[in-house]
């Protein structure tokens, strides 16, 4: 697990040099999976920001705070322009993924389309790409489907019986890049306490009101085992969380 806040500032290293630093992520609210890292290229590309898919990540080096990607600086330099101050549409995504030669992820049974993990690009079976493009043409390609982690930090958490805190951070599985846990700061109600809950327990996100509504009561959240962000997240602690909430464990699911 790695926190989104900890990830900010990580260097993205291409096969032939540094690209820039991570300054945020875009995620979808269906699979709650990071789809792109927002990378500030600094002086290299005159401060231009680019989007890099986790499908390009070769390895994570937390000690040196680096993400190693199977891309070249030239590929990044010639990638389609993206305005990170505006919503990312399917049309933008198609242009970006086609530029890098990566498959689309939104058609298939798993978080990464036909796969559970962001595997390197492989030749699509015959007829698959034609079907993808045909279905894409039927969609509204200008619809925005992604949300910024930076914008979502600070959203209010609304339990079934009242407000309980705000989103402090996201904990990511650095293999699938799925958001496994939302870190909730309850200090306005429980001084100094942080708790975790899973995206699967989110009832809805009201983006216009900057609020996350959850299928839990205040008492359930208040009595949950406290989360210590200064220590690594251990499986034993996660097991206690699932037992407390009476919910199935994510590692027992097939998908």
User: For residues 45 and 156, what is the distance between their CA atoms, to the nearest angstrom?
Assistant: 36
Residue ranges of the domains in the chain?
A: 2-147, 153-252
Sign of CA dihedral 185, 189, 193, 195: negative
Which pTM value belongs to this model? 0.88
Q: Are strands 33-40 and 49-52 parallel, antiparallel or unpaired?
A: antiparallel
* Structure confidence by residue, pLDDT tens digits, 15-34: 999 999 999 999 998 899 99
Supply the mean pLDDT for the chain: 86
* Structure confidence by residue, pLDDT tens digits, 146-186: 899 999 999 999 999 988 899 999 999 999 999 999 999 98
Q: Is the pLDDT of residue 255 over 50?
A: no
Superfamily of domain 2-147: PRC-barrel domain (2.30.30.240)
Instruction: Note the CATH number of domain 153-252.
Output: 3.90.50.10
- Classify 62 as helix, strand or coil: coil
User: For residues 113 and 106, what is the distance between their CA atoms, to the nearest angstrom?
Assistant: 5
The DSSP bridge partners found for residue 67 are 12, 60
User: For residues 168 and 152, what is the distance between their CA atoms, to the nearest angstrom?
Assistant: 9
Residues 37-59, mean pLDDT to the nearest whole number: 90
* Structure confidence by residue, pLDDT tens digits, 85-133: 777 888 888 889 889 988 888 877 888 988 888 876 554 555 555 555 5
């Amino acid at each position: 697990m790695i926190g989104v806040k900890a990830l900010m500032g990580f260097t993205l290293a291409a096969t032939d040099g540094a690209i820039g630093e991570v300054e945020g992520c875009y995620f979808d609210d269906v699979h709650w999976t990071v789809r792109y890292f927002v990378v500030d290229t600094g002086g290299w590309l005159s401060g231009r920001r680019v989007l890099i898919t986790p499908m390009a990540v070769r390895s994570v080096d937390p000690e040196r705070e680096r993400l190693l990607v199977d891309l070249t600086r030239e590929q990044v330099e010639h990638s389609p322009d993206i305005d990170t101050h505006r919503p990312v549409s399917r049309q933008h995504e198609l242009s970006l993924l086609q530029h890098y030669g990566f498959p689309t992820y939104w058609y298939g049974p798993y978080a990464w389309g036909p796969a559970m993990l962001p595997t390197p690009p492989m030749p699509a079976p015959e007829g698959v790409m034609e079907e993808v493009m045909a279905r894409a043409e039927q969609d509204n390609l200008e619809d925005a489907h992604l949300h910024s982690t930076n914008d979502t930090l600070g959203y209010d958490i609304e339990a079934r019986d009242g407000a309980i805190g705000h989103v402090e951070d996201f904990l990511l599985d650095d293999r699938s890049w799925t958001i496994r846990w939302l870190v909730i700061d309850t200090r306005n109600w429980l001084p100094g306490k942080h708790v975790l809950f899973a995206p699967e327990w989110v009832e809805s996100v009201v983006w216009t009101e900057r609020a996350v509504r959850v299928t839990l009561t205040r008492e359930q959240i208040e009595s949950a085992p406290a989360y210590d962000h200064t220590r690594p997240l251990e499986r034993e602690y996660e097991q206690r969380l699932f037992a407390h909430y009476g919910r199935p464990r994510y590692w027992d699911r097939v998908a």
